[in-house]
Amino acid sequence: MKATVVDGVEVGTTLPVVAVRFTRERLVRYAGASTDFNPIHYSEHFAKQVGLPGVIAHGMLTMGAALRVVTTWVGDPSRVISYAVRFTRPVLVPDDADGVEVEFSGSVSAIDGSLVTVSIEAISDGRKVLGAARAEVDLGVRVPHRDREP
């Protein structure tokens, strides 16, 4: 496979931002697609009963949507070899037509041979909702990087 994004990749390279609108409809779709039917993702009444401020998005929906920053950039999603996040703050999704927009951004934080680590940020309602979100991508060819040169 031909590498697509090697030229010009260096530590600090920023990836194009991806914005995704989370609505109740999207939560219902994700519940069905993922088979995660935890009622905190669709029932206000239930969410409040277990101490949440309201219906929240599936952490895995946020994690999956966030990876689009990386897979859209690299083109071939099979190049992702690891991906980890901490769910630091729930994404509250109001029951209206607009829902809430989650903005995902990423930047290259490490390069080791053909392996590139992308650090991802996810912002909802002005606050970070993911912590330590990192995806490791194998670009298939060694990335020439001047960052390491003295």
Residues of the shown chain interacting with another protein in the complex, contacts defined by CB under 8 A: 20, 26, 29-30, 32-40, 46, 50-51, 58-61, 63-65, 67-68, 71-72, 76-78, 80-87, 90
Q: Classify strands 14-22 and 115-124 as parallel, antiparallel or unpaired.
A: unpaired
Cβ–Cβ < 8 Å for 118, 109:
yes
Question: Which of 10/89 has CB closer to another protein?
Answer: 89
Q: Least distance to another protein from the beta carbon of 88, Å?
A: 9
Q: Least distance to another protein from the beta carbon of 41, Å?
A: 10
Q: Least distance to another protein from the beta carbon of 23, Å?
A: 11
- Structure tokens that stand for 145 in this block: 């990087």
Q: Classify strands 14-22 and 100-112 as parallel, antiparallel or unpaired.
A: antiparallel
Question: Which of 86/127 has CB closer to another protein?
Answer: 86
Cβ–Cβ < 8 Å for 69, 17:
yes
